Amino acid sequence: MNERTERPETTTTAFTRRRVTGFAVAGAAVPLLAACGSDTASDTAGSGSSAASTPSTSASAGASTSTSGSASAAAGLTSTSDIEVGGGKIFADEEVVVTQPTAGQFKCFSAVCTHQGCIVASVEDGEIVCACHGSHFSISTGEPDSGPASAPLEEKDITVTGDQLSLA
């Protein structure tokens, strides 16, 4: 009779220990996995380089906009009429945002926020907005206007051919 009494206690105790150990491991793994993705993007963006991005251009006002019939221009992203003056449009698949700060001046920046690597969410009131943590960037320069981001969005080359905008 003693065996019956002891055996369920041993099984129950072992089962409880396994369950507690499983929860502890899962509880520790989730924050570690979440931290892995965001730290890498932050470190990469802060250094001004990214393994998945194209080289940046010079900071001069006309460097990101050129008008040419170059055969090297990729298929058009959009029409110039789709980008309103003082606004912009996000192209999530290409991870870029195209803006038109003033009439006829088109700019292109990485859509990857330099704070934690989120894709920016909108272009409103003359700013590129990252909804993840509230960073706002200038549509003219990509420089952060507010929020936790301290580095600018990387500027990308863009080509205007007729009424088509393309990544250079």
User: What would the pLDDT profile of 128-141 be if each residue is shown by its tens digit?
Assistant: 999 999 999 999 99
pLDDT mean over 107-122: 96
User: CATH code at 77?
Assistant: 2.102.10.10
Which tokens go with 79?
């029409």
Name residue, tokens 């170059």.
70
pLDDT mean over 26-50: 41
- In sequence order, what are the residues at sequence separation of 6 or more whose Cβ sits closer than 8 angstroms to the Cβ of residue 107? 64, 65, 98, 99, 100, 101, 139, 140, 142, 155, 158
Classified as helix, coil or strand, 80 is helix
User: By C-alpha distance, which of 137, 139, 99 is closest to 118?
Assistant: 137
In this structure, the dihedral spanned by the alpha carbons of residues 151, 142, 96 and 118, taken in order and rounded to 10 degrees, is 40
In a domain, 142, yes or no: yes
Q: Is the pLDDT of residue 107 over 50?
A: yes
In the chain, the number of structural domains is: 1
In a domain, 151, yes or no: yes
Give the domain extent around 71: 65-167
Q: Is the pLDDT of residue 80 over 50?
A: yes
pLDDT digits (tens, 9 = 90+) for 47-76: 333 333 333 333 333 333 333 333 333 468
Q: What is the pTM of this model?
A: 0.58
